[in-house]
C-alpha cells in the first residue's frame, strides 16, 4: 500500500522525494497522536473516515477506520456528552468537506461549547483539510494509472443547508490580511517543540498569525510544510507558473479569496501577464478556449456545477475589478485549469477526457503527477484558511467576534523571489 494514498503501489509516476514520507507522518500525528488532548483518537478517525467518504474515497475511509482501536467504555453521562461532541465533530467535518467557504465561525463556537480547546480545534481542521488532500491525490493517481478517479456519487447538499452565507468578498489581486478566529500562539511564548518547527523551516515565521494559529499542532504543521515545499517548489516537472495556475483555480472553486489573491499575484508574476491572472480569477477555466470535456454532473458540455457543489464558490462572472474580456487561446492552460477544477469537486469529477486533454497538450507523466499534487494540496491549504480565520480587504474594519485576534500582512505561500519572510499556506 502506498504511504501517500492508501492505494496499491504502482499508480502513476512516483511523487517527489519526501512527499510520501511526510504525508504518512502527517496522517500519523493527526490520527494517532501520542497525546490526543481534548479530541480523542476515536473522534479523529471518525472525522477522517467521514471526510474520505464524502470525497469519494471509501477505500481510504476504510483504511482510516482500520487504525481505530477498541473504544473506551464510558458511563451514561459520559456517553451522552460523547454523542453530543461526535455530532458537533461530524457537522464540522461535513461542512468543511462539502462547502469550506460556508464554514463560518459558528462551527468553531459549536466545537468549543462541547469542550474542544484551541489545539483540538486546529487538529480537527487539519484532519478535514488533510483528508481533502489525500483523497484527491488518491483520485488523481488512480486516474493516471488508468482507472476512474472515483465511482462515488456526488454528496447530498443536506449537510450544508442552513449554513450562513459566505461574506460577499470579491476575488482580487490586492494584498489582503488574514485574522484568526481563535487565539493564536504567542510569538514570545513558544514551547520547545513549536520553536523547533519554526526554526526548521525558512518559510515559517512567528510574525504570521496564520502560522501561530497552526502552531497549536506543531507536528502537523511540520509535516505539512515539508509536503507544501516539495509540491510547490520542487525543481523540474510541471513549470512553476502552471502549479500556480492550478492553485489559483482550486482556490477560486473553493471560494478562498485570500489564497486566490496570493496565488493570482504569483501566477501573474510567473506568467508575466496580470491581465491573464485577472481573467482566471474572474472566470476560472472558462478564461481559456479549448475543447470542453463533458465531465460534470450538470448538462453535457456546460461545465455546470452539480450536486454537492457550494452555490457560492464557482459562480461565473464573480466580481473582479479590471478583468479583461475575451477568451485566452491556450489549450495547455485550458487543460490544466479544467483538470484542477474537476479534481477539486467533492467528490472529484476529473476523468479520462481531462487526462486526454492534458496529454494532448504535451504534459508528461512527471508533470501530471505534479499537477495532481498541486491541485490536491490546495484543498488542504484553502480549508485551513477558510475555517480558521477570515480574509480582510484593505480598509475593512476588524470584526468583533468576542475572542482575541491578531492581524498581520502575510503571504499564503512561500516564494522563490526575495520577499519578507512570511512562509507557506
Contact 95, 102 (CB under 8 A): yes
At 82 the pLDDT is 84
- Position 170 scores a pLDDT of 84
Q: What is the pLDDT of residues 33-62, one digit of tens each?
A: 999 999 999 999 999 999 999 999 999 999
CB-CB contact of 240 with 270 (8 Å): yes
Between the alpha carbon of residue 361 and those of residues 74, 178, 209, 349, 358, the distances in Å are 58, 37, 40, 20, 5
Containing 289, the helix (H) or strand (E) segment is strand 288-289
Domain that holds residue 117: 19-409
Q: What is the mean pLDDT of residues 198-223?
A: 97
Q: Which three cell numbers stand for residue 116?
A: 474542544
In a domain, 3, yes or no: no
Evaluate whether 71 touches 107 at the Cβ level (below 8 Å): no
Q: According to the model, what pLDDT value does residue 289 have?
A: 83
Rounded CA gap, 312 and 363, in Å?
32
The confidence score (pLDDT) of residue 406 equals 37
pLDDT at 304: 31
Domain count, the chain: 1
Report the distance separating Cα 107 and Cα 123, nearest Å. 14
Does residue 131 surpass a pLDDT of 90?
yes
For residue 122, which of 227, 247, 232, 219 has the smallest C-alpha distance? 219
User: Over the chain, what is the mean pLDDT?
Assistant: 82
pLDDT at 334: 97
pLDDT of residue 155: 54
* The pLDDT value given to residue 164: 59
User: Does any domain span residue 382?
Assistant: yes
Distance CA 267, CA 381 (A): 17
* pLDDT of res. 328: 87
CA distance 239 to 281: 19
Q: What percent of the chain has pLDDT over 70?
A: 74
pLDDT band at 395 (very low <50, low <70, confident <90, very high): low
Q: Provide the pLDDT confidence category of residue 275 given band limits of 50, 70 and 90.
A: very high
Q: What pLDDT was estimated at residue 294?
A: 53
Name the residue among 170, 186, 37, 180 with its Cα closest to residue 105: 180
**What's the distance, Cα to Cα, between the start and end of the chain in Å?**
29
> Beta strand pairing status for 177-180 and 389-392?
antiparallel
Mean pLDDT of 155-172: 61
Tens of pLDDT, residue by residue over 225-267, are 999 999 999 999 999 999 999 999 999 999 999 999 999 999 9
The reply to whether 424 falls in a domain is no
Give the whole-angstrom CA distance, residue 422 versus residue 150.
Answer: 37
Residue 414, in any domain of the structure: no
The answer to whether residue 6 is domain-embedded is: no
168 has pLDDT over 90: no
**pLDDT exceeds 60 at position 297:** no
Question: Above 90 in pLDDT, residue 402?
Answer: no
For residue range 6-20, list pLDDT tens digits in order. 333 334 577 899 999
CB 148 within 8 A of CB 348: no
7 falls within a domain: no
The answer as to whether 425 is a domain residue is no
User: Is residue 3 over pLDDT 50?
Assistant: no
What is the model's pLDDT at position 398?
Answer: 47
> CA-CA distance, 194 to 198, in Å (whole number)?
6
Q: Which residues contact 399 (CB under 8 A, 6 or more apart)?
A: 179, 390
C-alpha cell at 58: 471509501
- Cβ atoms of 328 and 289 closer than 8 Å: yes
% of the chain residues with pLDDT over 90: 69
Amino acid at each position: 500500500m502506498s504511504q501517500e494514498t492508501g492505494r496499491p503501489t504502482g499508480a502513476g509516476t512516483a511523487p517527489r522525494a519526501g512527499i510520501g514520507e511526510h504525508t504518512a507522518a502527517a496522517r500519523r500525528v493527526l490520527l494517532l497522536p501520542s497525546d490526543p488532548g481534548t479530541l480523542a483518537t476515536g473522534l479523529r478517525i471518525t472525522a477522517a473516515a467521514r471526510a474520505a467518504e464524502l470525497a469519494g474515497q471509501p477505500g481510504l475511509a476504510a483504511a482510516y477506520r482500520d487504525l481505530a482501536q477498541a473504544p473506551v467504555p464510558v458511563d451514561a453521562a459520559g456517553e451522552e456528552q460523547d454523542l453530543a461532541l461526535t455530532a458537533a465533530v461530524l457537522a464540522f467535518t461535513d461542512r468543511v468537506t462539502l462547502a469550506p467557504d460556508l464554514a463560518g465561525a459558528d462551527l468553531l463556537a459549536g466545537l468549543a461549547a462541547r469542550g474542544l480547546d484551541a489545539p483540538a480545534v486546529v487538529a480537527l481542521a487539519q484532519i478535514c483539510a488533510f483528508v481533502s488532500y489525500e483523497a484527491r491525490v488518491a483520485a488523481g493517481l488512480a486516474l493516471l494509472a488508468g482507472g476512474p478517479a472515483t465511482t462515488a456519487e456526488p454528496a447530498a447538499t443536506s449537510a450544508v443547508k442552513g449554513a450562513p452565507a459566505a461574506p460577499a468578498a470579491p476575488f482580487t489581486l490586492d494584498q489582503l490580511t488574514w485574522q484568526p478566529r481563535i487565539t493564536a500562539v504567542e510569538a514570545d511564548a513558544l514551547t520547545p517543540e513549536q520553536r523547533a518547527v519554526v526554526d526548521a523551516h525558512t518559510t515559517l515565521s512567528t510574525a504570521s498569525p496564520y502560522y501561530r494559529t497552526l502552531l497549536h499542532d506543531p507536528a502537523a504543521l511540520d509535516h505539512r510544510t515539508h509536503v507544501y515545499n516539495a509540491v510547490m517548489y520542487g525543481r523540474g516537472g510541471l513549470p512553476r507558473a502552471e502549479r500556480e495556475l492550478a492553485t489559483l483555480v482550486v482556490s477560486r472553486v473553493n471560494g478562498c479569496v485570500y489564497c486566490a489573491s496570493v496565488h493570482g499575484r504569483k501566477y501573474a508574476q510567473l506568467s508575466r501577464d496580470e491581465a491573464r491572472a485577472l481573467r482566471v480569477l474572474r472566470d476560472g477555466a472558462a478564461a481559456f478556449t479549448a475543447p470542453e470535456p463533458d465531465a460534470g454532473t450538470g448538462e453535457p458540455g456546460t461545465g455546470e456545477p452539480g450536486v454537492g457543489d457550494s452555490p457560492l464558490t464557482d459562480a461565473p462572472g464573480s466580481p473582479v475589478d479590471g478583468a479583461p474580456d475575451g477568451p485566452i487561446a491556450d489549450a495547455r492552460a485550458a487543460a490544466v485549469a479544467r483538470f484542477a477544477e474537476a479534481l477539486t469537486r467533492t467528490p472529484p469529477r476529473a476523468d479520462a477526457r481531462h487526462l486526454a486533454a492534458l496529454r494532448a497538450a504535451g504534459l508528461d507523466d512527471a508533470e501530471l503527477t505534479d499537477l495532481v499534487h498541486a491541485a490536491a494540496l490546495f484543498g488542504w491549504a484553502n480549508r485551513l484558511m477558510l475555517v480558521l480565520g477570515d480574509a480582510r480587504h484593505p480598509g475593512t474594519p476588524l470584526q468583533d467576534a468576542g475572542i482575541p485576534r491578531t492581524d498581520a500582512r502575510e503571504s499564503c505561500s512561500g516564494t522563490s523571489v526575495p520577499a519578507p519572510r512570511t512562509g507557506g499556506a
